[in-house]
Amino acid sequence: MLMEMTATLGEGRTPLVRSHRLARELGVSRLYFKLESTNPSGSYKDRFIATEITAMLAAGARACVATSSGNTGSALAAYCARYQVRCAIMVNEAAPEGKLLQMRAHGARVIRVKGFGADAAVTEDVFRLLAELARADGVPLVVSAYRHCPAGMAGVEALGRELREQAGPEPHHVFVPVGGGGLYTATARGLAGSRWPVHVVQPEGCLTVTAAWRRGDREIRPVQSTTRISGLSVPFDIDASLALKHLLANGGAAFAVSDEEVYECQRLLLALEGIFAEPAGATALAGFRRALAEGRVQPGDPAICLVTGTGFKDPVSIAVAASAHPDTLLPAAELRGFLRAEVLSC
C-alpha cells in the first residue's frame, strides 16, 4: 500500500556566496553566486523533480517517461531510485557522459534520440509522440517546463523566494541561464513583487527569448541550435514565451553570449572562486560580464548569478580546464627542491 509522502533528498536552501576574487577582477563591489550545484543530484532540477515525484506517488504512478538534456534526467533517475518508480529518459545525442552515467547508475533506461534537442522539427515530433504515449498508457510525462508539468515547476519558485531571504530587500540584478525558459519563469515568479530585474542569458547558438526581446516582439521563432552548452539547447518554444512575458514585466534584459565566453567563465569560476560548475552553470556569469560591458549594470549594483549545475556533470569541459595545470611525477628525493622552487617561494 502506498503511503502519502513528500519526496525529498534534502534539496533547496542552497548557499548564496559572495564573490571573493572575481568581483575585484571585474571592478565590481557586490557580486554573488547562488550555488544550485549543491543540490543532491548536482543541479536545480532536484527542486522540480522532488515536487513532481511527490505528485506522482500521490497519484499511484509507478513508471514515467521523460525528456532531458541531462540534469532533469539525472535528478529524475535519483528520485525514482529512491521511491521505486521506473523511468525511461529521452536525451539528445550530445548529452554529456557525466549526466548519462548518473542516470544509468541510478537504474534509469536512457534512450539517445538523433536530432533531439538540436533540430526543432525532430524535437517537436518527439514531444508529440511521448505526449500521445503518456495519455494512452496513463503514465506521467516528465518535462521540466510549465507547459508540461506546472505543479512540478512550481517547486522551483522557492529559488526566487530564497534569494530574497538571503540577499535582503534591496533589489538585486539576477542573471539566469535560459534554455527552455522554465527556470527563468520560476525565478521571476519567486521574486514577484520585489522590483528585482531578472535577466535572460542565452548562448548565441540557440537564441529564442533573446531574439524576440531584441526584435521587440513576442514571437518565439524556432531555431537550429548550434550551441555546445548542454542544457541550453532548446530550439523552440516550450516555456520561452512565458519567460519572455516575465522578462518584459520585470524590466530585465536579454543577453547573448558565445560558447567561448561561457567556457572562459567556467574556468574563471574554477580558478578564482573555487566554484565547480558545468558550462551551463557558468552562463549567467558570462551574461553579467556582458551587462557590465554594455553599461546595463553599474559596478556598484548588487548582482546574483545562478550557478545551476556542478562540474561533475560535464567531465570533458573540466578536463580542458584541468589541462592548463598538469600534474607532476617526481622521485621523492626531488620533492623538497621542487616545492621550494615552484610553490613555497611564490
- Asked if residue 209 lies in contact with residue 203, where contact means CB atoms within 8 angstroms, the answer is no
Same domain, 285 and 162: yes
Same domain, 217 and 127: no
Query: What's residue 4's pLDDT?
Result: 61
Same domain, 127 and 164: no
Q: What is the pTM of this model?
A: 0.94
Query: What's residue 2's pLDDT?
Result: 44
Same domain, 36 and 173: yes
Same domain, 118 and 207: no
Tell me whether strands 303-307 and 31-35 are parallel, antiparallel or unpaired. Answer: parallel
Residue 169 lies in a domain: yes
Residue 10 lies in a domain: no
Residue 295 lies in a domain: yes
Residue 204 lies in a domain: yes
Q: State the total domains in the chain.
A: 2
The chain-wide mean pLDDT, for the chain, equals 95
32: helix, coil or strand? Answer: strand
Same domain, 159 and 191: yes
Query: What's residue 230's pLDDT?
Result: 87
Same domain, 133 and 187: no
* Low-confidence stretches of the chain (pLDDT beneath 70): 1-4, 346
Query: What's residue 346's pLDDT?
Result: 66
Residue 1 lies in a domain: no
Same domain, 290 and 209: yes
Query: What's residue 1's pLDDT?
Result: 36
Same domain, 115 and 38: no
What's the CA gap between 282 and 303, in Å, rounded?
14
Q: Where are the alpha helices (DSSP H) in the chain?
A: 22-26, 45-59, 71-83, 97-105, 120-137, 150-154, 158-167, 182-190, 209-215, 240-250, 259-268, 279-293, 315-322, 335-339
Range of the domain at 141: 45-147
Backbone angles phi, psi at 298, to 5 degrees: -95, 155
Residue 335 lies in a domain: no
Q: Using alpha carbons, select from 227, 225, 207, 229 the residue that is nearest to residue 278.
A: 229
